[in-house]
Amino acid sequence: MKGFTKSLIVASIVGAVGTGTLATGTIANAESGNDSKGPRSGLVDKLATTFNLNKGEVRDVVDEFHANRKADHQKHMSERLQALVDDGTITADQMAAIETKLQKLQDERVATHNAEGELDHASRKKVHEERRAELEAWADEQGINLDNLKGVFGGSHHGHRGPGHNVE
């Protein structure tokens, strides 16, 4: 019973903290297999120490949680894109291109996560503007209107900014 209680505590904390890290996109580095320096390593260490748990088991729980969240997100995104195909907003070929592009962008985020964290605000902003311009050019080549895909690529496009951004 004691082990079950600890597991529930760990799962609850992982769920609460994991939701925040997923929302902010900070799990990218950990998905690259970087166990010792990834953003979740501190969480794993803290949980293992605080609750006197085996670090490897905690890592397994955290990794399983994030894998399930990622799978749920991918399923939701596929369903959302399929609905756009069904209503004629995009074609099946465009859906396939979007899914491929989403995977490519995720791979790029994983690869560049640490380097971008070391950039100052102006440099990070420039990188994001360049990526947005590249995405818009890609969408134009595909005949895809990004205004119909708000949120699919993780942000807004065509000059529209989300909450917390100053409008210039």
Same-domain status, 71 and 97: no
Has residue 23 got a pLDDT over 70? no
Question: Does residue 79 sit in the same domain as residue 61?
Answer: yes
88: part of which helix (H) or strand (E)? none
Both 97 and 81 in a single domain? no
Domain count, the chain: 2
Domain that holds residue 106: 91-159
Radius of gyration over every alpha carbon of the chain, rounded to an integer in angstroms:
19
Structure confidence by residue, pLDDT tens digits, 156-166: 444 444 333 33
Last residue of a domain, one of 55, 87, 119: 87
The pLDDT assigned to 156 comes to 46
DSSP states of 112-157: HHHHHHTS-HHHHHHHHHHHHHHHHHHHHHHT--GGGGTTTTSS--
- Number of other residues whose CB lies within 10 A of the CB of residue 50: 11
Taking the C-alpha atoms of residue 47 and residue 17, their distance in angstroms, rounded to an integer, is 11
Tell me 154's DSSP state: S
Say whether both 19 and 3 belong to one domain.
Answer: yes
Average pLDDT over residues 65-74: 93
From 17, 25, 131, select the one nearest 73 (Cα to Cα).
25
- Residue 14 — very low, low, confident or very high, per pLDDT cuts 50/70/90? low
Reported as a pLDDT band with limits 50, 70 and 90, residue 124 is confident
Cα separation, 89 vs 150, in Å, equals 13
pLDDT at residue 49 tops 50: yes
